[in-house]
Structure 1
Amino acid sequence: MRLPYLLSTVAAVLSTVAAQFVAVPKTPGLTFLYSLNCTLGEPLVVGNVPEGNRVVIPITGGTFAGPRITGKVLNLGADWGLTDRTGTFAADTRYHLLTDDGAHIFIRTSGPAQADGMLHLRIIFETGSDKYYWLNHIVAVGVLKVGDGSVWIDAWQLDSPGA
């Protein structure tokens, strides 16, 4: 008689534990960082490489502005984008920001084009500036829209879900 009771107790405990793992976690938030407009140079076609079709698009300048950071995009960098065998373009950029107060920030982005024509980007920042050092340790995402000879990127910091 003790075995059925023990089995039903174990089943109840396992069911409770499983329900905790199935529960939908809280959604992280996003904090707006900036909007960036970037001008582009003439593309350089590298051609078909083992990973797909590579095109280099020079980044020639621009501006960015947000609540905590503003400045300009320097004529220093490019997108080494790749179009894969399915026709999906993925950005692979390296470029440089100069804030209005003189801080230098190196940026790397990567991410695929979406069906709506926009690109979803992962953004990584590097800076030695004390004021903007916090950028080195955040997870950031961006949405890129293509214009005529330019691109717009709206960037956000990922925030932990509330307790």
Structure 2
Amino acid sequence: MTFTPALEFAFEIRAHVAETLHIGNGDGERTEFTPIVGGTVAGPWFTGTVLAGGDWSNTRGEVCELEARYLIRADDGAVVDIVNRGYYHPAPESPDQYDGDLRVTEKGHYYRTSPIFRTDAPAHRRLTETVFVGLARPDGDDVVVIRMYAVG
């Protein structure tokens, strides 16, 4: 018996970011902080506005470990907290990944996240009870696009 999870497109986050701040260097490591200053969320599961937060990153060699935390205000006024962890690194063997006409990864890069949502708003409870995977890509110098898929 083979068990394969299904992925359902839930929403897309377009997070606007400000200039990255250098925090420091360790032994073979670079630590940085990128402010998240706004953006939008749109999709069948959830719509709203990205409020504020930031993304802490640690880069070792070519692998960048990401941990973003920010707030989203849903269109109904509820506030949702998101902690989004993931990795970004070159992956020369991987071809472009497409979802319809939207390119969701840059050619030759692995950029994936695993978010956790928190809110006590009943209308958005399923966000807090579902496993998601995010496929991310930069869109210019000041926007990161993350397409969130619910794992079924």
User: Which runs of 5 or more residues in structure 2 are unaligned?
Assistant: 92-107
The question of 1:52 aligning with 2:29 is answered yes
Aligned partner of 1:81 in structure 2 is 57
Q: For residue 102 of structure 1, give the secondary structure of its aligned residue in structure 2.
A: coil
The CA deviation string for residues 113-145 of structure 1, in whole angstroms up to 9 with x for no partner, is: 142234110110001101101211111110110
> Is this contact kept in 2: 1:118–1:146, CA < 8 A?
no
| 1:96 paired residue number | 71
Check conservation: 1:55, 1:81, Cα contact below 8 A.
yes
TM-score of the superposed pair, with normalisation by structure 1: 0.77
Match of 2:136 among 122, 129, 144: 144
Per-residue deviation at 1:49? 3.2
How far, CA to CA, are the matches of 2:110 and 2:74 in structure 1?
26
The one of 126, 136, 148 aligned to 1:134: 126
Distance 1:83 1:135, change over 3 A: same
Structure 2 CA distance for aligned equivalents of residues 73 and 106 of structure 1: 10
Name the SS of the counterpart of 1:132 in structure 2.
helix
Counterpart residue identity of residue 131, structure 1: A
Q: Considering only CA atoms, is the larger Rg found in Structure 1 or Structure 2?
A: 1
Identical positions, percent: 31
Q: Give the corresponding residue for 2:105.
A: none
Give the TM-score normalised by structure 2.
Answer: 0.83
- From the two aligned structures, give the one with the greater strand fraction: 2
- Number of aligned pairs? 134
Report the CA distance between 1:72 and its aligned residue.
0.6
Letter of the 1:88 counterpart: V
C-alpha separation in 1, matches of 2:126 and 2:28 = 34
**5+ residue gaps, structure 1:** 1-22
In the TM superposition, 1:62-77 aligns within 5 A as 62-74=39-51, 76-77=52-53
Q: 1:51 to 1:155 in 2, by over 3 A?
A: farther
Distance 1:41 1:126 in 2: 24
Per the alignment, residue 102 of structure 2 pairs with: none
- Identify the range of structure 1 (41-50 vs 99-108) with the bigger mean alpha-carbon deviation: 41-50
CA 1:50–1:138 in 2, change beyond 3 Å: closer, same or farther?
farther
Specify which structure has the higher proportion of helix. 1
Secondary structure at the aligned position of 1:105 is classed as strand
Q: Show the counterpart of 1:41.
A: 18
Letter in 2 for 1:34: F
2:11 and 2:26 mapped to 1: Cα distance? Answer: 34
